[in-house]
A and B are shown apart, each in its own frame.
Chain A
Amino acid sequence: MLNQFVAPDLYPAAPEIFLLAMACVILFVDLLASQRRWITPFLSVASLVGAALLTVLTASEFSVLTFSNTYINDALSSFLKLLTYLSVATALIYGRGYLRERNLDKGEYYLLALFATLGMMVMISANHFLVMYLGIELLSLSLYAMVAMDRESVRATEAAMKYFVLGALASGLLLYGMSMVYGATGSLEISVVAQALEQGAVNKTVLVFGLVFLVSGIAFKLGVVPFHMWIPDVYHGAPTSVTLFIGSAPKLAGYALAIRFLVSGLLDLAVHWQTMLLILAVFSIVLGNLAAIAQTNIKRMLAYSTISHMGFMLLALTAGVQGGNTTLAFPAYITALYYVVAYVLMALASFGMIILLSRKGFEAEELEDFKGLNKRSPWFALMMLILMFSLAGIPFFIGFWAKFAVLTVVVASGKVAVAVFAVIMSLIGAFYYLRVVKCMYFDSPRDMTPIQAGADLRILLSINSLAVALLGVFPQKVIFLCQYVLVRTF
Chain B
Amino acid sequence: MSSHLLSLAIWVPILGALLVFVAGSERRATARWLALAVALAGLLVTIPLFTGFDRTQAGMQFVELSPWVGAFRINYFLGVDGISMLFILLNSFITVLVVLAGWQVIEEKQAQYMGAFLIMSGLMNGIFSALDGILFYVFFEASLIPMYLIIGIWGGPNRVYAALKFFLYTLLGSLLMLVAFIYLYLQSHTFNLLEWHQLRLDFIPQLLIFIAFLLSFAVKVPMWPVHTWLPDAHVEAPTGGSVVLAAIALKLGAYGFVRFSLPIVPDAAHYAAPMMIGLSLIAIIYIGFVAIVQADMKKLVAYSSVSHMGFVTLGFFIFNTLGVEGALVQMISHGFVSGAMFLCIGVMYDRVHSRQIADYGGVVNTMPKFAALFLFFAMANSGLPATSGFVGEFMVIMGAVRFNFWTGFAAAITLILGAAYTLWMYKRVVFGAVANDHVAEMSDINAREFLVLGLLAVAVLAMGLYPFPFTDVMHASVDNLLRHVATSKLL
Contacts and interface: CB of A to CB of B under 8 A. Distances in A.
A427 B178 CA distance: 13
A407 B182 contact: yes
Given A411-B183, A412-B186, A395 B137 contact: yes
Give the 10 A-B CB pairs with smallest separation, nearest first: A423-B175, A395-B138, A442-B152, A479-B71, A411-B182, A395-B142, A476-B69, A408-B182, A419-B179, A427-B172
B179 A480 contact: no
A311 B159 CA distance: 33
A133 interface: no
A458 B402 CA distance: 66
Given A395-B142, A442-B153, A483-B71, A407 B178 contact: yes
A438 B138 contact: no
B141 A423 contact: no
B69 A437 contact: no
B145 interface: yes
B111 to A, nearest CB: 9
Contact of B183 (A378, A404, A416, A423): A416
Given A430-B171, A442-B160, A420 B179 contact: yes
A424 B168 CA distance: 11
Contacts of B176: 420, 423
Interface string A362-380: 0000000000001000100
Given A431-B164, A437-B148, A411 B179 contact: yes
Interface in B132-184: 134, 137-139, 141-142, 144-145, 148-149, 152-153, 159-160, 163-164, 167-168, 171-172, 175-176, 178-179, 182-183
Interface string A393-425: 011100011001101100110001001100110
10 contacts: A374-B153, A395-B139, A396-B142, A412-B186, A420-B176, A423-B178, A424-B172, A434-B167, A437-B148, A437-B149
Contact of B134 (A404, A416, A423, A427): A404
A411 B152 contact: no
A65 B370 CA distance: 83
B92 interface: no
A396 B176 CA distance: 18
A412 B175 CA distance: 17
A419 B144 contact: no
A339 interface: no
A21 to B, nearest CB: 40
Contacts of B134: 404
Contacts of B469: none
- Quick one: which of A404, A475, A479 has the most chain B CB within 10 A? A404
Interface in A415-457: 416, 419-420, 423-424, 426-427, 430-431, 434, 437-438, 441-442
Interface in A454-490: 475-476, 479-480, 483
Interface in B253-289: none
A115 interface: no
A378 B160 contact: no
B137 A441 contact: no
A273 interface: no
Contacts of A438: 152, 160, 163-164
Interface of B: 25, 68-72, 109, 112, 134, 137-139, 141-142, 144-145, 148-149, 152-153, 159-160, 163-164, 167-168, 171-172, 175-176, 178-179, 182-183, 185-186
Given A374-B109, A423-B178, A434 B148 contact: yes
A396 B145 CA distance: 10
A372 to B, nearest CB: 11
Given A408-B72, A479-B71, A396 B138 contact: yes
The A contact surface, by secondary structure, is helix
A399 to B, nearest CB: 12
Contacts of A423: 175-176, 178-179
Given A400-B138, A404-B182, 10 more contacts: A378-B25, A394-B145, A395-B138, A396-B138, A396-B142, A400-B141, A407-B179, A412-B182, A431-B168, A438-B160
A389 interface: yes
Given A423-B175, A424-B175, A430 B149 contact: no
A430 B70 contact: no
Contacts of A385: 145
Contacts of A389: 145
A395 B141 contact: yes
The B contact surface, by secondary structure, is helix
A480 B148 contact: no
Contacts of B164: 431, 434, 438
Contact of B163 (A424, A442, A476): A442
Contacts of B183: 411, 416
A423 to B, nearest CB: 4
A408 B185 contact: yes
A483 B142 CA distance: 27
Given A441-B153, A476-B70, A483-B71, A427 B145 contact: no
Contacts of A480: 70-71
A462 to B, nearest CB: 14
Contacts of A419: 179, 182
A405 B69 CA distance: 11
B25 to A, nearest CB: 7
A400 B185 CA distance: 17
A8 to B, nearest CB: 38
Contacts of A442: 152-153, 159-160, 163
Contacts of B168: 427, 430-431, 434
A395 B132 CA distance: 15
Contacts of A412: 182, 186
Contacts of A374: 109, 112, 153
Nearest to A428: B168
B69 to A, nearest CB: 5
A184 B71 CA distance: 39
A416 B179 CA distance: 8
B171 A427 contact: yes
B112 A378 contact: yes
Nearest to B68: A476
Contacts of A396: 138, 142
A331 to B, nearest CB: 9
A78 to B, nearest CB: 21
B216 to A, nearest CB: 11
Contacts of A404: 72, 134, 178, 182
Contacts of A405: 72
Contacts of B160: 438, 442
A344 B176 CA distance: 27
B144 A394 contact: yes
B379 to A, nearest CB: 38
B443 to A, nearest CB: 31
Contacts of B112: 374, 378
Contacts of A424: 172, 175
A476 B149 CA distance: 29
A420 B180 CA distance: 10
Interface in A334-378: 374, 378
A426 B175 contact: yes
Contacts of B163: 438, 442
